[in-house]
Structure 1
Amino acid sequence: MTKTDPSTTAPERVRKFYALKDIAVAPENMRFGEPADEDVPQLAATIKAAGLLQPLTVRPGRRKEKPAMALDGRRRLLALEILLTAGDIDGDYAVEVFEETDPARQAAAVLLTNTAVPVHVADVIVSIGKMLKAKLTPSVIAAALGYAEVDVRRLAALSALPAKAISALRQGRLNLRQAKLLARLPDRGAQTELAEVALSGHGFPEWRVNELLDEGAITARDRRFALVGAQAYAEAGGRTVCDLFGERADVLLDAEVLQELWTKRAEALADALRSEGLAVQVTADPAPAAADDLEPFGYAYGFGLDEAQLRAWRDAGAAAREAGEALQAVDLSAAGAEAPLQAWLLARLAADRLSEPTRPITAAVLTPHGDTGLDVVFLGPPAPEPEADGETEEPADGRLSTPALRFDPEPEVVAVAVAVPAETDGVGHALHEVRTDTATRALVRALADDPTTALVALTARLFAVLVLRRGLAKGGGALTVSAEAYSRPRAPAIEVLDGEVRRRLADRRAAWETSGKTPIGWVAGLAHGEKMALLAELVALSLDLREERTTSLRHTARAEAAEIATLCAADVTLYWTPDETFLRPHSKPQLLAMLENMGAGVERARALKKDELVGLVAEEAAARVWAPAWLSWSAPDEDPDEGLAAGDAAELEAPGETDGAVAPAAPEELAA
């Protein structure tokens, strides 16, 4: 490839002389109208001693302008005027210049030959605005400056901002991102009002601008769009508005077209479930209300399943997960996506059916989902409450004891230990109390001297109470130890956290059922390591640190939780990072604060709607293996509820006015 010498292709620069009185600073000059800086007098002394070594760059004057208008050389011209005022030279002093008549070269001279003062982005914006007024097209300006045309168009959009907004940008009261946000507002009066607020030092209310821009807007991040796709939406007549600055999601102007396309596609996919005899509801509501006589199939643990059923259920769950993972490689909006989507729905149905074989699935609800295009919840009649054993009665404090673990009734054959016959003949109540009291105290001493047996007794008692739900009432067991498995109304387990513990206990219950032993006998037969693991699972599931109100903090429980977390080196990110279910109740400022704390930045997030922001935080947290420190009962670095104030993101620093080579803002910096 032959290299071209620029000197052989560039047009020769025209050198001319103009009288000092016939030269003025061009309006498009970067520093037009600014006073002389403190170093200009020194420059004047240098010119007086050595003459003007570097010619000015000018263009011919227009209309009422002077014959030569300086595009570059403002400070040299100011220095010459100092010499003129001092009487060292007169108005006829010959000033050597390069005269540019080509519009593209004039544009280049404004930005690329300015060697006096570093360029502020506000000056670039103003200069491009003046070039446009001088009938230079964006393509001509872009070619002259070496910028992409889209960057020039973006700067041109900013040049249309009110003068107060440009002034606030120059003074650092607005950063470039906020100026772009302001430029998106169609109402010039609102632009001026917000610029005045920023210029007066009261900050820039980004939340207000975002609300105005987001009001009623549906973007390409809408959960329905994943299933519809841009092509189908456009072919159906849907209109899209793209963000000029490329920072906000495309806005979909025809919501009814999007809804119609999504519903039509979801209804077609739902036919696979209808063929299974289910009543299917298709709705865009992310949290549809279930029928009063139906309950959703939540996270299952395999309670009550025999070995073959448990194996079949686990295989079906693995198949459903594989089908869901396969969708990540599929264009959900393409015509060929129906088969894998329906296969995934049927795999989900099979897994839920096998999780509770005695409970039929009669209905399903399909809703949008950003990743898989669809989400499905299966419903059926409520499961029967397990029958309590004969020794169980309502607690004395009147609270209803609701099992946190769902399981089928106990097997018909349950091992029962042989009790020592009570001697009641001729024994009154008072004497019987004395005898059993003394026997209790004797066993207390014996058990206290035998830690191994105590471990067996405690573990068996917790297993009977938490898993088997036996012996809950007074007199239901030898030990008075009681416990409740942690649960929260209408909130399913988190699969990799307490869901894993509940699954382990489900497996242990199945092992106990097949052993034919009493709980104590079964625990006693376990290896020591198994005993300790079972005890840890039972103790863990008895934890309850939930607080329903911020005014009802349980300080003692919190202190104990911190101690326990320190002892076991608790770190929630070993198993889980914040998901959408956890993040959705948080406010937008709190979500932005999470992004800031994890080091993900908030630039592109501020413009997102709440639903989109939740997905972004979940994605970034998973990528960085991050969760708030307080979820692991550690002291947070910052207040997790403290939102980000407007303008907290780093602002573009304006370089000071110093002599030396210019560093004009690069296109990627201007578009950032």
Structure 2
Amino acid sequence: MPRSASAALTVVETPFDIAAARARLRVPLRDVDIAPENLRFGEPPDDDIPLLAETLFAAGQLEPLTVRPGRRNERANMALDGRRRLLALRYLLEGGRIEDGFLVDVVVETDPARQAAAVLLTNTAAPVHVADVIAAIGRMLKGKLAVPGIAKALGYAEIDVKRLAALSALPPVALEALRRGRLNLRQARLLARLPDKAEQAEYAQMTLDGHGFQDWRITEKLDEDQVTAGDPRCALVGAERYAAAGGRTVVDLFGERAPVLLDPAILTDVWTRRAREIALVFEAEGLAVHVSAGDALELPDDLEPARYAYGGMLPAAELDAYREAREVFNAAAEAVGERLAETTDPAVVDPLLIAMAKARLAMDQISWGGRIATTMVFFPSVRAGLDIRCFTPVEPEIEDDEELSDAREEVDDDGDLSPANGRSHRAPEVEAPEPETEGISHALHAVRTDVATRGLIRALADDPGAALTALIARLFVQVAVRGFGARSESAFALTATAFNPAGGRIIEPLDGDVRQRLDERRAAWEGSDQTVIAWVHALAHGDKMSLLAELTALTLDLREERTSLIRRAARAEAAELAALCGADITLHWTPDADFLKPHSKALLLGMLEAMEEPSDPRVGVLKKTDLVDWVAERAAERTWAPAGLSWTTDMPDGDPDGAVMDGPDPSDAAAEGTASPEVDGAGAFVVTEAGEAALQQTA
């Protein structure tokens, strides 16, 4: 007869099933004794038993004793594991601090094989969750037990006990979130730094409710009004000089954040005195030197700052000299930075700082076309201790056509224009008929030239090729040659300006490449000894169109100075142009450090999320400078740029930079998981994958 499908199957219990089925009881102390088979049966109590007793009395019994049922003439429960804890409880009993009816937590082991295993594994610690360890240490502290005693009793390093003691002050809801894995140790340490207990509880409850833990909000709150050892002033001052001046420093207990300087006024004073020592060298040479520890300076309006020079701004020889001077300055700044990393001794550093400042002075004076700097300003710099900026008096503007014409006539012995107009090359001029002025009134002359102009307008309108030549030539003069823009200097009223707003920077792979192309074309024109119109007209059609594209592109200006001044019409045109030319900024550039620095940490983390970068708990605790480098590297690897840098209309909803301002933080993924020893472990204690810490007690 076939076996019924409902027949019961035989279930085989595994050792794990048997272990889970063990009875865990609370039995009176008088009913517990040490089993003879215990490996240390008969040994006298060691000297640390009183300390262990204090620990048990303050924190309670964290681990149960493993016992077997008593046999003939034995007590009801015989301890196979937990001899020292039992001796500590008896010590408390002898001192009258507990009674013999005190309930002891035990696990009853009835299987002979498991009884033998318990005897052999008597020194193996049972795992407890790190949240329970933190709570226990808190109870010990309330019981007036000192940190050294707790460390010795638990087998932890004192620094680990101090760190866990700091966490024991967290509200219960935070420890519960830690126990459930909603909060990891790193996040708990971050939470413990908040001074407001109510705020701690609010963040912990939000995390426990499943809304995630937003590390960046707490980090930004902690960074408010704090001056750390990463402050630019510290590079030149150094920790020893700051301390010698009476400056106080607080080191982070957990070793995760930069030390905090409690006396920023002293830091400013010391930095200012050090910067003034360098300034005296240049003041002795007749320069006015201002020193600012970070506050904005109000300089006279008639001073012009140095500029970044690129092709076309200077004659070729001067541009080469400028680039060479820039390399000298960068090398000097690099040398200062390397030496400051080793020492801040003035005898070693000051000569390098002076050389760097002189290199900056030489570079900036070349960028002005030889004009002399009269003012220098020193600011703090993380890289080289000093950030040096140079200023020169603004050149007076030539207002009327007569003065402009006179300036044009200042020619040197070689027939070239003098530096008065900023250029050393003078283009040839085509011979033109002299106007008839004899007996002609001003009004009549105006009428004649008016009609002649309109006639040429019609002629150019009927000859697209000639009109294209004229347009390109005028744009070339305005954008690449940067000649005089006055109406009297050109047949065209058309004006154009290359995009170069104050406060911006030339990006070499983007507009820098276009400027370099125009610099090469300008050099080719100067070497041709032709007028601009003749040179442009002689270009091949492809070269002519490329030049037109470069000139037109460099006049593009879509900058918006404020979020309240959105140029919607210009944006609409930009969207059309981007679609026409298939614009993709990542073909040539991805976000670099200079672009990323003005962004907040929240926006930087949002960029990583937009890149779909895998969550890494270490990212949330990075300093701003390190996070900037991290995002730049990830963007370069993925050839990614924020959607807000595209002018196309397929931008996703939300923040234009692709960053999410609100909602779960990228580090919440770590908060949902368990604490990892590599990420969250600190010091000697070990946190397991289950969020448990092994107590180093011996039985």
> Distance in 1 between the 2:604 and 2:674 partners?
33
Structure 1 position 367, deviation (Å): 0.5
- Aligned residue among 234, 238, 245 for 2:247: 238
Q: Structure 1's 429 and 644: CA in aligned 2 closer, same or farther, altered over 3 A?
A: closer
Q: Structure 1's 233 and 669: CA in aligned 2 closer, same or farther, altered over 3 A?
A: farther
> Distance in 2 between the 1:348 and 1:629 partners?
37
Structure 1 position 345, deviation (Å): 1.2
- Aligned residue among 550, 565, 577 for 1:537: 550
Kept in 2: contact 1:204–1:646 (CA 8 A): yes
Structure 1 position 463, deviation (Å): 0.7
> CA offsets per residue over residues 562-605 of structure 1, 9 Å max, x none?
5655636532583563445x556544533443355464978667
Q: Structure 1's 517 and 667: CA in aligned 2 closer, same or farther, altered over 3 A?
A: same
Kept in 2: contact 1:386–1:407 (CA 8 A): no
Match of 1:546 in 2: 559
Match of 2:288 in 1: 279
Kept in 2: contact 1:279–1:362 (CA 8 A): yes
Superposed, which structure 2 residues align to 1:359-438 within 5 Å?
359-385=371-397, 408-409=421-422, 413-419=426-432
Match of 1:571 in 2: 585
Kept in 2: contact 1:164–1:195 (CA 8 A): yes
> CA offsets per residue over residues 29-88 of structure 1, 9 Å max, x none?
6699xxxxxxxxxxxxxxxxxxx99966573234247567347x4xx69xx9xxxxxxxx
> Distance in 2 between the 1:604 and 1:208 partners?
16
> Distance in 1 between the 2:191 and 2:506 partners?
44
TM-score when normalising by structure 2: 0.67
> CA offsets per residue over residues 334-357 of structure 1, 9 Å max, x none?
322222222111111111112224
Kept in 2: contact 1:284–1:367 (CA 8 A): yes
Quick check: 502-511 or 515-524, which moved more?
A: 502-511
Matched, 1:520 2:533: yes
Q: CA RMSD in A?
A: 5.1
Q: Structure 1's 283 and 20: CA in aligned 2 closer, same or farther, altered over 3 A?
A: closer
Matched, 1:166 2:175: yes
> Distance in 2 between the 1:65 and 1:383 partners?
98
- Aligned residue among 340, 344, 349 for 1:334: 344
Match of 2:15 in 1: none
Match of 2:104 in 1: 69
Amino acid at match of 2:687: A
SS of the residue 2:254 aligns to: coil
Structure 1 position 224, deviation (Å): 0.6
Equivalences, count? 578
Superposed, which structure 2 residues align to 1:274-353 within 5 Å?
274-285=283-294, 287-301=296-310, 305-332=314-341, 333-335=343-345, 336-353=348-365
Match of 2:162 in 1: 153
Amino acid at match of 1:279: A
Structure 1 position 317, deviation (Å): 1.7
> Distance in 1 between the 2:692 and 2:402 partners?
77
Structure 1 position 187, deviation (Å): 5.4
Match of 2:645 in 1: 631
Match of 2:367 in 1: 355
> CA offsets per residue over residues 133-155 of structure 1, 9 Å max, x none?
78887678778878665444322
Kept in 2: contact 1:238–1:253 (CA 8 A): yes
Structure 1 position 458, deviation (Å): 3.4
Amino acid at match of 1:316: A
Kept in 2: contact 1:572–1:631 (CA 8 A): no
SS of the residue 1:246 aligns to: coil
SS of the residue 1:109 aligns to: coil
Unmatched segments (≥5 aa) in structure 1: 1-16, 33-51, 81-94, 112-118, 393-405, 657-662
Percent identity between the two aligned chains: 43
Matched, 1:665 2:660: no
> Distance in 1 between the 2:451 and 2:253 partners?
89
Amino acid at match of 2:358: L
Superposed, which structure 2 residues align to 1:47-196 within 5 Å?
57=82, 59-60=85-86, 61=89, 62=92, 63-64=98-99, 69-70=104-105, 73=107, 109-111=125-127, 120-129=129-138, 150-171=159-180, 174-186=183-195, 188=197, 191=200, 195=204
Q: Structure 1's 250 and 644: CA in aligned 2 closer, same or farther, altered over 3 A?
A: farther
> Distance in 2 between the 1:377 and 1:551 partners?
31
Match of 2:696 in 1: none
Q: Structure 1's 479 and 222: CA in aligned 2 closer, same or farther, altered over 3 A?
A: same
Matched, 1:488 2:488: no
> Distance in 2 between the 1:495 and 1:409 partners?
24
Structure 1 position 363, deviation (Å): 0.9
Match of 1:10 in 2: none
Kept in 1: contact 2:216–2:665 (CA 8 A): no
> Distance in 2 between the 1:318 and 1:286 partners?
29
Quick check: 454-463 or 290-299, which moved more?
A: 454-463
SS of the residue 2:499 aligns to: coil
Kept in 1: contact 2:617–2:670 (CA 8 A): no
TM-score when normalising by structure 1: 0.69
> CA offsets per residue over residues 233-290 of structure 1, 9 Å max, x none?
3344432211112221111123233223212222222234334321111111254332
- Aligned residue among 602, 607, 610 for 1:589: 602
- Aligned residue among 278, 292, 315 for 1:269: 278
> Distance in 1 between the 2:493 and 2:101 partners?
102
Match of 2:234 in 1: 225
Unmatched segments (≥5 aa) in structure 2: 1-22, 33-55, 65-76, 93-97, 405-418, 676-684, 694-699
Q: Structure 1's 437 and 231: CA in aligned 2 closer, same or farther, altered over 3 A?
A: closer
Amino acid at match of 1:334: T
Quick check: 464-473 or 151-160, which moved more?
A: 464-473
Kept in 1: contact 2:340–2:384 (CA 8 A): no
Structure 1 position 540, deviation (Å): 1.7
Amino acid at match of 1:623: E
- Aligned residue among 250, 267, 271 for 1:258: 267
Structure 1 position 456, deviation (Å): 3.8
Amino acid at match of 1:415: P
Kept in 2: contact 1:57–1:98 (CA 8 A): no
- Aligned residue among 637, 643, 649 for 2:661: 643
Kept in 2: contact 1:142–1:149 (CA 8 A): yes
Kept in 1: contact 2:309–2:319 (CA 8 A): no
SS of the residue 1:281 aligns to: strand
SS of the residue 2:395 aligns to: coil
Quick check: 149-158 or 219-228, which moved more?
A: 149-158
Structure 1 position 219, deviation (Å): 0.9
> Distance in 2 between the 1:157 and 1:229 partners?
30
Quick check: 192-201 or 582-591, which moved more?
A: 192-201
Match of 2:629 in 1: 619
> CA offsets per residue over residues 606-662 of structure 1, 9 Å max, x none?
678xxx63x344433443436424325465666325324475523444679xxxxxx
